[in-house]
Amino acid sequence: MRRSRKVKILATIGPASSSEEMLKKLFEAGADVFRINMSHTDHELMRTLVGRIRAVEEAVGRPIGILADLQGPKLRVGKFANGKEVLTQGQTFTLDDNPEPGTSTRVYLPHPEILSSVEAGHRLLIDDGKLELKAVKSDGKSIVCTVVAGTTISDKKGVSLPDTDL
């Protein structure tokens, strides 16, 4: 399959598009490059995805590009025992220094500078603001919050602190 266009089509690989069969369908539909979001991918999964892309490449007889989108210096929460949790408005939720997987009531925040800087009344925006928390109390090891705007929270989501000086 030869493509004469100058524009390239980039497709992001996610859980629904990571099988070899789906990658081949995406290539046949026009994808030239596959993006792997390293914010949500560990090294083992990266190896698996690259292997699948290379298998499709061999099957179609044409080079396929791979873009590894590296995780930047974003502040992020840890992982959850179930991969995700639903938080509802008015619920109490804690961010703390305990590296154990998170639950519906708490999650690890691997940034001591946040734990020591947030004060009562400060807002914490998670997952690009989809989840809004308001700090009720902070002791340097944990931040107890009230959920202002609830949603589902999942592993390694970004944290923004519009009211906090770090």
Q: Do the Cβ atoms of 108 and 80 come closer than 8 Å?
A: no
Return d(Cα 55, Cα 20) in angstroms, integer. 8
Return d(Cα 136, Cα 143) in angstroms, integer. 7
Q: What is the pLDDT of residue 1?
A: 60
Interval 89-143: pLDDT, tens: 999 999 999 999 999 999 999 999 999 999 999 999 999 999 999 999 999 999 9
Residues 155 and 93 in one domain: yes
Q: With 0-12 CB in 10 A as exposed, 13-18 as middle and 19+ as buried, what is 162? A: exposed
Residue 102 structural domain:
84-160
Q: Do the Cβ atoms of 112 and 96 come closer than 8 Å?
A: no
Specify if 74 maps to a domain.
no
Q: Which of 1-5, 123-127, 155-159 has the lowest mean pLDDT?
A: 1-5
Residue after which a domain boundary falls, among 69, 92, 117: 69
Q: Do the Cβ atoms of 122 and 135 come closer than 8 Å?
A: yes
Specify if 54 maps to a domain.
yes
Specify if 130 maps to a domain.
yes
Return d(Cα 164, Cα 145) in angstroms, integer. 14
pTM of structure: 0.65
Nearest CA to 141 out of 108, 92, 97 is that of 97
Interval 27-48: pLDDT, tens: 999 999 999 998 778 899 999 9
